Amino acid sequence: MMRWYTANWGEHFLLQTEPIVMQHSVMLDAQTHSAWITSDGVLGGSGDSSARFPYWSSTKTVIAICTLKLCERDQLSLEATPESEPYTLRQLLGHTSGLRDYGQLASYHDAVAADEEPWTRQQLMHAVRREGLLFEPGHGWSYSNIGYLLVRETLERVSGLSLAQLVDELIGDPLGLESLELATTCQQLASVYWKAARNYHPGWVYHGCLTGTAADAARLLHALFHQQILGAAALKQLLVRYPLGGAIPGRPWTECGYALGLMSGTMGRSGRAIGHSGGGPFCVNAVYHFPDRQVPMTVACFTDGTDEGQAELCACSLAGP
């Protein structure tokens, strides 16, 4: 059986049932910046430890965590439907809502490349929704950034706080992640490591784009899997996944699935990998927890270019065979 998997940044990969054997090695050059933390708290890293990077779609993991935190507080339910829409928060977080995505719109990429101002919400929703849902909610899977915009808006409405305030209150401040910041202006994004960011408006990432160091990205995911953010019951909900298929050519995945805000599968000899990759027009990242290592570890890799597979291969290389 084969399915289409709509990956970050609107690319399509055909999942194959035959595994692809990958050598988990990647050159860690000057443009690769990484951090890792083992289950017993040993920290390490390479590259510029003070550099800040856009987290891109790894922000989805944080949005999902914030949602489960509000559920723990009985402020929200995963079965809630935003503004009487036909899909639930659970379906939006797991990409089973049937919503289309703006990543497949040529006009979107043309506007970004031309350094235009981000579309208004009305323009965006009109462009995406005019052809209707891809499938009935709960009866398929397709990656949709729009779904996470709707979750963000629900979180802000229920809590009375902005996403930036929620992230600080629920995650950043309790864990001491001092570099973590939601970029909302060009000036904020201009402070990240990659010079190309100076010409990019973070408003094009409609669910929000967190920025921070590689070390804080690794510490955040490490804390999640050590129940320093969510309790056992909420973490169990977060990890329920939708199976998607086998290997992705050019990437280390040999088995794929998606949980709530978490890409979840197997990366060959590195075993299970749970986290998220992210990509924008000038850099990519991979932030993953590897629970099957002799000493489980969490890895965050950031590199330039647009190939998420390179960041994922870096993560596998650091996690070891």
Model pLDDT, residue 10: 32
Q: Could you tell me which residues come within 8 angstroms of residue 294 by beta carbon, excluding any fewer than 6 positions away?
A: none
Lay out the sheet containing 297-304: strands in order across.
43-46, 32-38, 297-304, 283-290, 272-279, 263-266, 256-258, 242-245
Cite the DSSP H helix spans in 114-265: 121-129, 145-159, 163-167, 173-175, 186-189, 214-225, 232-239
How far, in Å, CA of 109 to CA of 263, rounded?
Answer: 24
Residue 95 DSSP label: T
Q: What is the pLDDT of residue 113?
A: 86
pLDDT at 230: 98
For residue 105, the model assigns a pLDDT of 86
Q: For residue range 45-57, list pLDDT tens digits in order.
A: 999 999 999 999 9
Tell which residue, 320, 318, 319, 321, has the closest CA to residue 46.
318
Global pTM value? 0.91
What tokens appear for 98 in the block?
């049937």
Tokens of 213: 């160091």
Domains and CATH numbers, the chain: 28-319 (3.40.710.10)
Residue 136 C-beta-side C-alpha neighbours within 13 Å: 1
Residues of the chain with pLDDT under 70: 1-30
Q: Report pLDDT for 23.
A: 34
**Chain position carrying tokens 């970004």:** 112
The interaxial angle of helices 145-159 and 59-72, nearest 10 deg, is: 40
- Name the strand (E) or helix (H) holding 263: strand 263-266
> What's the CA gap between 283 and 310, in Å, rounded?
11
pLDDT score recorded for residue 109: 87
Which residues, in sequence order, are CB contacts of 24 under 8 Å at separation 6+?
Answer: 252, 267, 268, 269, 270, 313, 316, 317, 319, 320, 321
pLDDT of residue 2: 24
Whole-angstrom Cα distance, residue 15 to residue 210? 29
pLDDT of 103 reads 84
Q: What is the pLDDT of residue 317?
A: 93
